[in-house]
């Protein structure tokens, strides 16, 4: 369809302009900080000089992208029906510690062990998201406020649990608190063999490339299928686009709110699993925090579509990887955050501009066609 193609092309151009602008604006900030923008750009592409550092760099990059992708998906499921689940942060932290603890209490063959941990994580995340959903449908409590407040509850609960009931044996002289170590069968196999295919050395970094990458891809396909190819997905989108119209055509809004929130929370519960099952093997007081909030930016950038979110997560991870490289190049690493923020902001703006422009083009084209076929008579 030429009209669709036109529109796609416009969107691409808009996004390219947005990214170029973001880099330009960030360059100003870098210069102001007394560093060279070119050195910064070089650092982003500097994966090191030896095959080992390149392999480790790629592993770091991919390992960062996986949890960001899952976080983006979790947020996007809510966004698709205008539910702002800001509580992804709390949902995944609570799910992480409960899953880590439950997984450490028994030993089973690897597939069962891992499956149980995944189910527990999804269940805890989903149940925790059920609280704001119920508050919304029964009392009309705004889910933004409820989920933000529940984040605090979850974070404090998690840090209580890791010190108290769920605490494990800590290493001699260590101050980090941790849950009991997971059995060997809970560790997800890594993907380091891919490096062998290309004749490259395997990454040596803890856990290598996390095998959960595969699970994340499967999850992405599943979410896409549910949203785009099922009645449930259609009802979610319909409720998001026009709630009253969807309700009038027989969609139960209360049921949809609960279903979407719980699904969002269940996906959020999986965010910590790549790190937990791929590397750490326990929930510790230094577990990566803040992924739930980053997921909001990733979902925005990816336009709430699994494919878009995947690219957004890869872009964020690519920028995050350069943390060390930038500092080696004497560029302040906060540049990363500036570029990320700029890209999200400008892409949203570019999106809006191209949308309006495309709409106008479409109107003009339709008007022309109408004009050719049958002149429209304007009634006085």
Partner 1 sequence: MLGKRFNRMAFGSVVGVMLMAATACGGGGTGGGTTASEAPSAASSEAPKGALKVGLAFDVGGRGDKSFNDAAYAGLEKAHTELGAEIKELSPSSDGSNRGDLLRQLADADYNPIVAVGFAYAEDVKKVAEEYPDLQFAVVDSASNAPNVTGLLFAEEQGSYLAGVAAANKTTANHLGFVGGVESDLIRKFEAGFVAGAKSVKPDIKVDIKYLTPDGDFSGFRAPDKGKVAAEKMFQDGADIVYHAAGDSGLGVFQAAAAAKKKAIGVDSDQRQTIKETDLQPVIMTSMLKRVDVGVFEYIKAFQGGAKGGTDVTYDLKVDGVGLSTTGGEIDDIKDKIDAAKQDIVDGKITVPAKP
Residues in region 103-122 near partner 1 by CB under 8 A: none
Residues in region 9-28 near partner 1 by CB under 8 A: 9, 11-12, 14-16, 19
Please state the separation of Cα 252 from the chain's center in Å. Answer: 28
According to DSSP, the residues that pair with 178 across neighbouring strands are 284
Pick from 151, 295, 320, 342: which binds partner 1 (CB under 8 A)?
320
Phi/psi at 11 (5° precision)? -60, -45
Pick from 105, 327, 368, 369: which binds partner 1 (CB under 8 A)?
327
222-231: long-range contacts, CB 8 A cutoff, minimum separation 24? 223/73, 223/76, 223/77, 223/267, 223/306, 224/305, 224/306, 224/307, 226/263, 227/77, 227/80, 227/306
CA nearest to 200, candidates 58, 10, 64, 299:
58
Is there binding between residue 273 and partner 1 (CB under 8 A)? no
Is there binding between residue 232 and partner 1 (CB under 8 A)? no
In angstroms, give the least distance from the CB of 203 to partner 1.
10
Pick from 312, 331, 338, 346: which binds partner 1 (CB under 8 A)?
312
Is there binding between residue 72 and partner 1 (CB under 8 A)? no
Nearer Cβ to partner 1 (219/329): 329
In angstroms, give the least distance from the CB of 270 to partner 1.
17
Nearer Cβ to partner 1 (53/116): 53
In angstroms, give the least distance from the CB of 331 to partner 1.
12
Pick from 325, 335, 338, 346: which binds partner 1 (CB under 8 A)?
325
Is there binding between residue 240 and partner 1 (CB under 8 A)? yes
Is there binding between residue 206 and partner 1 (CB under 8 A)? yes
Is there binding between residue 264 and partner 1 (CB under 8 A)? no
Nearer Cβ to partner 1 (12/28): 12
Is there binding between residue 77 and partner 1 (CB under 8 A)? no
Give the integer Cα–Cα distance in Å for 250 and 255.
Answer: 11
In angstroms, give the least distance from the CB of 13 to partner 1.
9
Is there binding between residue 290 and partner 1 (CB under 8 A)? yes
Q: Which stretch binds partner 1 (CB under 8 A): 24-32, 121-129, 247-255, 299-307?
A: 299-307
Residues in region 159-198 near partner 1 by CB under 8 A: 159-160, 162-163, 171-177
Q: Which stretch binds partner 1 (CB under 8 A): 24-32, 46-54, 260-268, 367-375?
A: 46-54
How far are the Cα atoms of 83, 128, 150, 194 from residue 146, in angstroms, in the given order? 12, 11, 6, 44
* Angle at 348 (CA atoms; ends 228, 17), nearest 5 degrees: 110
In contact, 302 and 311? CB cutoff 8 Å: yes
Q: Which stretch binds partner 1 (CB under 8 A): 154-162, 209-217, 244-252, 257-265?
A: 154-162
In contact, 161 and 97? CB cutoff 8 Å: yes
In contact, 277 and 83? CB cutoff 8 Å: no
Is there binding between residue 356 and partner 1 (CB under 8 A)? no
Pick from 35, 69, 79, 246: which binds partner 1 (CB under 8 A)?
79
CA nearest to 43, candidates 371, 265, 336:
336
């Amino acid at each position: 369809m030429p009209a669709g193609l036109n529109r796609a092309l416009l969107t691409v151009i808009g996004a390219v302009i947005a990214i170029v602008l973001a880099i330009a604006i960030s360059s100003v900030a870098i210069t102001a900080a007394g560093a060279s923008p070119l050195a910064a750009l070089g650092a982003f592409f500097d994966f090191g000089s030896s095959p080992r550092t390149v392999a480790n760099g790629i592993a770091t990059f991919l390992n960062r992208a996986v949890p960001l992708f899952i976080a983006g998906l979790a947020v996007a499921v809510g966004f698709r029906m205008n539910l702002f689940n800001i509580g992804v942060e709390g949902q995944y932290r609570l799910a992480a510690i409960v899953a880590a603890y439950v997984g450490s209490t028994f030993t089973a063959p690897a597939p069962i062990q891992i499956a149980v941990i995944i189910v527990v994580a999804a269940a805890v995340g989903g149940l925790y998201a059920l609280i704001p959903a119920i508050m919304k449908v029964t009392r009309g409590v705004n889910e933004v406020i409820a989920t933000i407040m529940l984040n605090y509850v979850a974070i404090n609960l998690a840090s209580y649990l890791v010190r108290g009931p769920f605490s494990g044996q800590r290493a001699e002289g260590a101050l980090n608190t941790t849950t009991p170590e997971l059995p060997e069968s809970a560790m997800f196999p890594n993907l380091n063999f891919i490096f062998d295919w290309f004749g490259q050395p395997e990454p040596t970094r803890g856990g290598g490339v996390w095998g959960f990458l595969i699970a994340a891809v499967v999850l992405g396909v599943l979410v896409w299928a549910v949203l785009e190819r099922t009645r449930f997905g259609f009802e979610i989108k319909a409720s998001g686009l026009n709630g009253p119209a969807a309700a009038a055509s027989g969609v139960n809004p209360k049921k949809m709110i609960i279903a979407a929130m719980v699904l969002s929370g269940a996906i959020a519960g999986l965010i910590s699993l790549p790190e937990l099952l791929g590397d750490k093997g326990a929930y510790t007081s230094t577990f990566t925090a803040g992924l739930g909030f980053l997921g909001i930016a990733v979902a925005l950038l990816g336009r709430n579509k699994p494919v878009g979110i995947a690219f957004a997560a890869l872009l964020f991870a690519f920028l995050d990887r350069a943390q060390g490289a930038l500092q080696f190049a004497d560029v302040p690493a906060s540049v990363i955050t500036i570029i990320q923020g700029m890209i999200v902001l400008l892409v949203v703006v570019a999106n809006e501009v191209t949308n309006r422009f495309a709409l106008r083009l479409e109107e003009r084209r339709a008007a022309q066609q109408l004009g050719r076929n049958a002149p429209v008579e304007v009634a006085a």
